[in-house]
Amino acid sequence: MSTPDISQDEIDAIYPKVAEIIADALGCDEDEVSPDSSLINDLDAESIDFLDIVFRLEREFKVKIPRGKAVEEARGELSEEEFEQGGIVTDAGFEKVIAYMTEVPADRIQSPLKSAEIPKLFTTETFCKMVIREQQG
């Protein structure tokens, strides 16, 4: 399953609205939100906030973002066993995550990576890409 390429123009077109939704959901100022803000590490989001953000994005952009979609897409054609073992992302899985999440600064993606920590990598731009991918459907 390959993901269509997403242009910077496409991201720029929806970024202001996505940033506004994220700031609103997290109760922070929009100027605290940047494209590479880690929602968890920089903006203090919790997993429950992700559900709220996804719900708001779905409503705003008229798309359906299945839960777990980003991790599933990052895994690509790898089976769960090939992607992670004992909760740790395999070397092959690690390469997939890096290739899929190009918006995340490389120094934030450390090996060994626990699969449960992948959402900690999510940035404002990650959510932009989720919306665009669903729009491209």
- How would you class 99 by CB atoms within 10 Å of its CB: exposed for 0-12, middle for 13-18, buried for 19 or more? exposed
Higher pLDDT, 137 or 79: 79
Q: Where are the beta strands (DSSP E) in 17-122?
A: 84-85, 88-89
- So what's the pLDDT on residue 15? 98
How confident is the model over 39-96, as pLDDT tens digits? 999 999 998 999 999 999 999 999 999 888 888 888 989 999 999 999 999 999 999 9
The model's confidence at residue 2, banded by pLDDT at 50, 70 and 90, is: very low
Give me the half-sphere count of Cα atoms (radius 13 Å) on the Cβ side of residue 31: 0
CB-based contacts of 62, cutoff 8 Å, min separation 6: none
What is the domain partition of the chain in residue ranges?
8-136
Q: Would you state the structure tokens that stand for residue 31, as one six-digit string?
A: 């100027």
How confident is the model over 89-116, as pLDDT tens digits? 999 999 999 999 999 988 899 999 999 9
Instruction: Identify the CA nearest to 96 among candidates 110, 69, 78, 79.
Output: 78
CATH superfamily of 8-136: ACP-like (1.10.1200.10)
